[in-house]
Structure 1
Amino acid sequence: MGNSPAVIETSGLSKRFRGGQLAVNGLDLTVPRGSVFGFLGPNGSGKTTTIRMLMGLIEPTSGTARLLGSPMPKAARAVLPRVGALIEGPALYGFLSGRDNLLRYDAADPTADPRTRTARVGAALDRVGLTAAAGKKARAYSLGMKQRLGLASALLQQRELLVLDEPTNGLDPQGMREIRSLIRELAEDGTTVFLSSHLLDEIEQVCTHAAVMNQGRLVVQGEVAELAANARGRLVVTTPDTGAAARLLKERGIADVAVAGEDRVSSELPPDDMELADLNAELVRAGVRVRGFTAERASLEDAFVALTGEGFDVAG
């Protein structure tokens, strides 16, 4: 059981809420052990409902979920002590200090050794950069500090699996970088990290694998590098002669040609058998004043827009 290659496995997992709304529809998800797994989707796509089923907080309408090889929610009591989680923001006591919040969290864990509690809490605070603010009341914490304290609560014990719902919510860019680097460290220490996000660049920077949800359904899952590779990159030509450049690219059969602003033409990258240098020379011969000619690799965003057929809510 402990050596199963998947730490999370679902089969046909579905959740229909009262009133008939199907929030999660037939989900078959596989999260490999040792991965940093990004669970992506616009807000309302079913991510949090899925996480709540995985953690045994709500029962599925149909289908099954296994966590660390055991069925959920049936095996919740045995499985959850091996899992750290931060779901829908941390629940904190505002009148207690950051340190006292963590001491209380740790005391509520029946598997935690009280003799090493103070050292564990100190190490968790240090790990998320809150040692200096540990004596401050949690109600005086900024949103980003509260998020870090919630993460610290999930890190009190060594965990096999860490489940994080939007872990960089409310953090400034520096805080986001710190949390990303912490997630990488945890993965290097052997913890599998499952994180939901609607921030594509976050997934691209930190995750090894990803799955995309859209309107309750799983659109795709796989290694991040492969998902991006499946989308075609973009060709960007910078020129004052946008009309002439766009015409020539279209004549050559290049797809999705668009004039983007006063001096940019963008298109899909040409097929592999078309030499980019020859295309550039052809533009020049046709009298197009080429000031820039760039092949941009496909990003995860390109892949997901291609897969879901819609723009991605990358901001909020």
Structure 2
Amino acid sequence: MTAVIETQGLTKRYRGGQLAVDRLDLTVPAGSVFGFLGPNGSGKTTTIRMLMGLIEPTAGTATVLGKPMPRAVRTVLPQVGALIEGPALYGFLSGRDNLLRYDSADPSADPRTRRARVTTALDRVGLTQAAAKKAKAYSLGMKQRLGLAAALLQPRHLLVLDEPTNGLDPQGMREIRSLVRELAADGTTVFLSSHLLDEIEQVCTHAAVMAQGRLLTQGSVADLAAGARGRLAVTTPDPGDAARLLKELGVIEVSVEEDRVTGELPAKDVELAELNAALVRAGVRVRGFGIERASLEDAFVALTGEGFDVAG
């Protein structure tokens, strides 16, 4: 199987005419860590809910693990771990008892090894010390960890995570990032939706960008970032003079921050050596000069024309 998730013309229109997902053609390669990006209202969560068989599409098709969804939901979901829109927990039960309840609801789970599975899952997400505490006393970050533990009770071919680092501190984010890498190394395909572009760039091998229900682009993270143009960066003790001259030479969107001047090169070919020489001839003391590699955030802004909405 080369694609773990594949959609063709996937569309969801709600009552009243709202078009949430518009003819989505998405391909998630097997073994990838796939980042699903988009601002608030772009259709990410609606797409995930259709993929998991939680809602019916209006048109188009979706296959997960090679099976049509939602028709094959009973066959597919036992092979999928999912954390969507936050975990659903029993507040009056402890973290451990929540996982025991989840595991007992899985008809494929061997009851003889249930406690061992729960113990392992708690340890993987760093909740061993809080296992006896009632879930209603958990912080938001701890609840996210417990939901992730529930998704990891059994070996999974596919793990679907919607904002998995929501509520976590920086240390918790690093731990989840490390866990995602471990799972991918073991052969699990990870599909995660997040508004943290830096996190996506650090952990994902592939990504897709959505806006207003439509797919803008998809591919490897390296290729998406490479498609965005890098910015010229000049370090100098004469930032004002450097900024003024760069504007005269055609550099656009010039900005100054202390001793650092950055800008976007014009579409026409510009010889970098000539820019540097022009700065020196004008008496600008150049201490650093070069093109900064474009980031996934640069690619996102270039595609959508807007900053990333953290509420997404």
TM-score with structure 1 length normalisation? 0.93
1:76 to 53, 73, 77: 73
Residue among 290, 302, 305 paired with 2:301 = 305
Structure 1 segment 289-300 matched on structure 2, within 5 A: 289-300=285-296
Q: Match of 1:286, as an amino acid? A: A
Question: Deviation digits for residues 136-170 of structure 1, max 9, x if unmatched?
Answer: 11111111111000000000000000000000000
Give the corresponding residue for 2:35. 38
- Show the counterpart of 1:20: 17
Please state if 1:5 is matched with 2:5: no
Is 1:86 aligned to residue 83 of structure 2? yes
Moved more, 289-298 or 119-128: 289-298
Look up the match of 1:282.
278
Amino acid corresponding to residue 60 of structure 1 in structure 2: P
Structure 2 letter corresponding to 1:207? C
Q: CA deviation at 1:9?
A: 0.5
The structure-2 alpha-carbon separation of the partners of 1:237 and 1:161, relative to structure 1 and needing over 3 Å to count, comes to same
Q: Deviations over 1:238-263 (max 9, x none)?
A: 34544542343344444x24133465
- One-letter amino acid matched to 2:196: L
* Residues 246, 257 of structure 1: 8 Å contact kept: no
What is the distance in 2 between the residues matched to 1:107 and 1:15?
34
Structure 1 spans left out of the alignment, 5+ residues: none
Q: Say whether residues 1:163 and 2:163 are aligned partners.
A: no
Q: Equivalences for 1:143-158 in 2 at 5 Å?
A: 143-158=140-155
- Aligned CA RMSD, in angstroms, stands at 1.9
The answer to whether residue 196 in structure 2 is matched with residue 194 in structure 1 is no
Instruction: State the distance in 1 between where 2:292 and 2:253 align.
Output: 15
Q: Deviations over 1:25-60 (max 9, x none)?
A: 110000000000000011211100000000000000
Q: Which moved more, 1:305-314 or 1:67-76?
A: 305-314
- Distance, in Å, in 2 between the alignment partners of 1:269 and 1:299 is 16
For 2:175 and 2:268, the matched residues in 1 are separated by 39
The partner residue of 1:59 within 48, 56, 79 is 56
Looking at structure 1, the residues matched to 270 and 18 of structure 2 have their Cα atoms a distance apart, in angstroms, of 49
Task: Name the CA distance, whole Å, in 2 between partners of 1:79 and 1:25.
Answer: 24
Contact 2:236–2:259 (Cα < 8 Å) also in 1: yes
Once the two structures are aligned, what percentage of the paired residues are identical?
82
Structure 2: gaps of 5 or more residues: none
Deviation at 1:83, TM superposition (A): 0.4
Residues 1:107 and 2:104 are matched in the alignment? yes
Once the two structures are superposed, residues 100-156 of structure 1 have per-residue CA deviations (whole angstroms, 9 ceiling, x without a partner) of 000000000011110110111111111111111111111111111110000000000
